Structure 1
């Protein structure tokens, strides 16, 4: 049996710990209180363990210098669009909305639909909106009246070839009536209302019977998976928990049961102590490049205090987060102009078992500047060409130029 690279590294680590114990040496890694100088990329790759997922990422900065005959996709900002179904005036081209809200002249907002009273009419015209949520016209999963019949015994051709119906919902959060493409083109009030829409729809789907997992994400640009330019996010709720998510949940539960602390909280405390990968922070939030980032230039932001469900964040924290998101989009576009990017929201899944203290929400933000190739697909181990410490340094320069008070 061939032993893969992460397994060999893990086995060597176990042997080293046993040898250290026999010799009486400490097995606790030394903590560097100040950042070490960044080194020039060398030919020696390094593998790092992600404590949340249990996955290994191989860092090979020297591969960044390899030739590339394929240019980066150019995303040209535009304010007009032909036949865009998400623009104001095209509401008839999408399914009826599930949630609509409008920003008032004083920057407050009101939810127009659904009304707070089920018997009431919408509190305003639904064609005058700021953020609008509609069912996806081409959904990956759909609601079904026969949701209890997950498996049809008559279709079981072989015990190895099983199939289940996937029940849930697939929605699109349209973030502006104007034809903008990136978060950097939205104003703060629009981003904040977008986050409020996230909370409302997460809360709605979390209350639906049978829903186990909710994915909320944003694709910007063709390389990131977007098929329409107009700035929008997507929510996909299913009655099935992905194995990878369940594995993360189990690792978080195990850490909390073993230490009495949330794993994400422990990581944040360690990152704030080392200060190597912290990009910016506010009183409530911290943005940093994770130690074992799976992708180049990945940013993660979360609250310093423990919150498991994103929809439990206060209005003040949402205001703080809206500002941080707009800044992160600006940093990314300064460093990688015209790059496609993804934004992923991780909130405690409805089907997660165990103590609420084990799960901590987070939001990840990364440009699509690398390709997943053969090794990654065959091993499920990513190769990252940008060390998070170097990514942090680049982001810090952007953050300091914008607002020095946010940086360490």
Structure 2
């Protein structure tokens, strides 16, 4: 069945109707028996789009199309509906990047070189997906069943969206507006404000790590590489290396503070259907992690107003201490 974008006439929000996703296997077991991402089971996945190292020998990283995609290929269905029940095709591309042949490995266990290899592979696939001129390429990592991970084997995902949803457009509009008003990037001014305040900074060594002032959930954390690139596709080698050093340590710190929580990791990037140099004037790619330690209740569902039961000024020092210890 073809994925549709359906629009809520009351809120203007988009919802993806993707029945194909219901067919994906759910397996969070520690055993690797039957895992389609493990070595020897390559025939259980779609054809490879990336293999590191290249060739027929043992691999360390593999990339391929998602067998149960969120979006459909362009041209799969041109039907639309208007009025109060609007819909249009949700087109694009959806990939999986298996981060390790080891079923029980995790990114928090990675050496800087291993993390860099994963990030470099993601950059390569972002560049390849950009060639199809989507509106956005979204990179994310779901860890744990509560975060939506259907398979335990460590992997990231990339989704190229041919239409940018309202949430992304709103983020970009704010950043563009700030640049138009000040001549500066919003993320740079936020970083400067967090550095000046100090109380929400977790670490600041090549990558600024902080918990945002208006955090949505406890221990929501942001990593800003500051390499000047607007998208992961345009990230510099130095920027990737800095994140590769910082990210596993941060994840070990979160695991210590929150007892190995489920989380969603997201890469925030500029639109991909504009010139990269122009986008970098007003956007810097960065990483956000949201631990899944709270659940939406009535107020959140009725209003979209998220309730954070903690303050980042209180949680950031705890994470800073854990990250410092994890980095030793």
- Output the TM-score relative to the length of structure 2: 0.85
Deviations 1:242-295 (A, max 9, x none): 10110111111111000110010011111112211111111x311011111111
- Check conservation: 2:225, 2:242, Cα contact below 8 A: no
**How much has 1:355 moved relative to structure 2?**
5.0
2:47 matched to which residue of 1?
Answer: 96
- Per-residue Cα deviation, 1:275-327 (whole angstroms, up to 9, x for no partner): 11111111x31101111111110110012353212222222332221121100
The answer to whether the 8 A contact 1:95-1:137 is kept is yes
**C-alpha distance in 2 between matches for 1:168 and 1:403:** 39
Residue of structure 2 in register with 1:160 after alignment: 84
Contact 2:29 2:152 in 1 (8 A): no
Aligned-pair Cα RMSD in Å: 2.1
| Cα distance, 1:343–1:355 mapped onto 2, change above 3 Å | closer
Cα distance in 1 for partners of 2:298, 2:222 equals: 27
Q: 1:217 is matched with which residue?
A: 140
Name which of 216, 237, 241 aligns with 1:319.
Answer: 241
Q: 1:342 aligns with which of 257, 261, 264?
A: 264
* Contact 1:176 1:186 survives alignment (8 Å): no
Q: 1:186 aligns with which of 96, 101, 110?
A: 110
Query: Does 179-188 or 264-273 show the bigger shift?
Result: 179-188
Asked whether the 8 Å contact 1:249–1:352 carries over to 2, the reply is: no
Do structure 1's residue 139 and structure 2's residue 69 form an aligned pair?
yes
Indicate whether 1:289 and 2:226 are aligned.
no
Separation in 1, partners of 2:39, 2:265: 24
Q: What is the Cα deviation at residue 350 of structure 1?
A: 1.4
Paired residues of 2:69 and 2:94 also in contact (CA < 8 A):
yes
SS of the residue 1:98 aligns to:
strand
Aligned: 1:128 with 2:58:
yes
Which residue in the other structure is 1:226 paired with? 149
Per the TM alignment, residue 352 of structure 1 is displaced from its structure 2 partner at its CA by 5.8
Q: Corresponding residue for 1:359? A: 283
- Pairing 1:184-263 to 2, within 5 Å after superposition: 184-209=108-133, 211-263=134-186
Which runs of 5 or more structure 1 residues have no equivalent in the other structure?
1-75, 103-111, 113-123
* Aligned equivalents of 1:268, 1:138: Cα separation in 2: 38
Shift in CA distance, 300/258, structure 1 to aligned 2, threshold 3 Å: same
Question: 1:10-29, aligned counterparts within 5 Å?
Answer: none
Determine whether 1:306 maps to 2:228: yes
Query: Within 1, Cα distance between the matches of 2:199 and 2:29?
Result: 34
Structure 1 distance, partners of 2:233, 2:113, is 18
Distance in structure 2 (CA, Å) of the matches to 1:100 and 1:256: 39
Whether the 8 Å contact between 1:131 and 1:177 is mirrored in structure 2 is yes
Equivalenced residue count is 300
CA distance in 2, matches of 1:312, 1:356: 9
In structure 2, the partner of 1:396 is: 320
Once residues 300 and 136 of structure 2 are traced to their aligned partners in structure 1, the CA distance between those partners, rounded to angstroms, is 25
8 Å CA contact retained: 2:228, 2:280 = no
**2:301 aligns to what SS in structure 1?**
helix
- SS of 1:383's partner is coil
Over 6 Å off, 4+ runs: none
Distance 1:77 1:182 in 2: 14
TM-aligned CA distance change 1:288 to 1:223, over 3 Å: same
Cα distance in structure 2, aligned partners of 1:352 and 1:247: 16
Aligned residues of 1:142 and 1:169 also touching (Cα < 8 A): yes
What's the counterpart of residue 99 of structure 2? 175
TM-score by length of 1: 0.69
| 353-362 or 301-310, which deviates more | 353-362
Inter-partner Cα distance in structure 2 for 1:324 and 1:340: 19
- Does the residue aligned with 1:360 lie in a helix, a strand or coil? coil
Q: Establish whether residue 384 from structure 1 lines up as the match of residue 308 from structure 2.
A: yes
Give the Cα–Cα distance (whole angstroms) in 1 for the partners of residues 196 and 260 of structure 2. Answer: 34
